[in-house]
Amino acid sequence: MSHRIVSVSVRDVRFPTSLEQHGSDAMHTDPDYSAAYVVLHTACGLRGFGLTFTLGKGTEIVVLAVEALADLVVGKSLQDIVKDFRGFYRLLTSDGQMRWLGPEKGVIQLATAAVLNAVWDLWARAEGKDPEQIVSCVDFRYITDVLTEKEALDILVGAQEEDRMMKEGYPAYTTSCAWLGYSDQQLKQLCTDALKSGWTKFKVKVGANLDDDIHRCRLIRQTIGPNNTLMIDANQRWDVAEAISWVTSLSEFKPLWIEEPTSPDDILGHAAISKALAPLGIGVATGEQCANRVMFKQFLQASALQFVQIDSCRLGSVNENLAVLLMAHKFQVPVCPHAGGVGLCELVQHLILFDYICVSASLSNRMCEYVDHLHEHFTSPVVIQNAHYMPPKDPGYSCEMLESSVQRHQYPEGDTWKLLMNK
């Protein structure tokens, strides 16, 4: 059967999460969780679904970037793409004119991720499999000085305790309880409810005001108790010296890590922060806005992070994330992916399962972020049981949205936005 791609459609889908301060942090005070939502249409009728996550304004720019990439995709057959997936990845990221706009950073990078996510979904649906079951796509050009192709292929041998993962799931932590814009009463109630549901790992947004951070961290630590895990996340708010001083002031609450303490591009700054906080037993986590696998390579070489945070819509889909997983394994740094937003949990569950089954075979210091928002808009929403991601059962990359939800939240013509704009 021919799986020739005949058209690419992309829509701007936004959810007004800012109305209730969901997703609010020190740098993003009023996010509307959104996505550039891509559908690949084939001659035989099979479709592939993909997306990239955004925060409202600017989604229309990513949509235009996807449309600019569409000419590189239309007319290609799925069979030819997967026969040389590395070549197809390079086609999208190495166009002689568009690469000047930044194929491995910025808007073009987000568009590339959306398109590649849709290709992976199409391939998985055609094969009746999950993306983590297919691994012939690594681009080794920029990782060979830390990991040879032979070493990488030696890692990717056989399954490791797949049966255990299918029964017990992958450990998760929650960010849903402690957005920066939530009131004290809301924080306490959400943490209490989460404890009753089996959650033991909690992340708190910090970085806007030190006194407020001390107050909120004390409240949450008192609520969750001394033995549960607490992480803090500054979303790039500080410079290096400020980060060290601020986190030192919060060290009494025993955070496992400080996430994104400074600019996501400042590798040596993260190294300095890591070195300064090590005596306090606090690690550095970053990566959700890391531009590409080359930067991850340098973060690892510089011992600039203790927890790798990949993102399913920031790098070039499975292709590039797989390279990062292999490098993290080489440096023995645990991977704890970023998730949440629109569809990030649905996508990243495949990456953590692949990491466990085919790369790390370890759950030591490993967990995946979970945010309890907007899953009801997907045809195969992520399943959480007792604070664990359960393996998905449906073929594909799990990011197909309900058409009714897409129509209702399409910006600006969807009914949700028409109603809000008329108020």
Which sequence positions are flagged as catalytic?
A: 205, 338
Residue that has been written with the tokens 């049981």 in this structure: 385
Residue 412: cis peptide before it, omega within 30 degrees of 0: yes
Could you count the other beta carbons within 10 Å of the beta carbon of residue 83?
A: 11
Structure tokens, 196: 């009753």
Could you count the other beta carbons within 10 Å of the beta carbon of residue 45?
A: 8
- How, if at all, do strands 201-205 and 388-390 pair? unpaired
Half-sphere exposure of 219 (CA within 13 A, CB side): 20
CA 155 to each of CA 127, 323, 327, 329, 330: distance values in angstroms, whole numbers, following the listed order: 24, 12, 11, 9, 9
- Quote the CA–CA distance of 264 and 344 in Å, as a whole number: 19
Buried b (16+ CB within 10 A) or exposed e, 318-357: bbbbbbbbbbbbbbebbbbbbbbbbbbbbbbbbbbbbbbb
Helix (H, G, I), strand (E, B) or coil at 130: coil
Contact in structure between 381 and 388 (CB atoms under 8 Å): no
Residues 6+ apart with CB under 8 A from 269: 239, 240, 262, 263
Geometric angle at alpha carbon 392, from 81 and 47, rounded to 5°: 40
Residues 6+ apart with CB under 8 A from 285: 231, 257, 258, 259, 260, 305, 306, 307, 308, 309, 336
Identify which of 285, 278, 187 has the alpha carbon closest to the alpha carbon of residue 236: 285
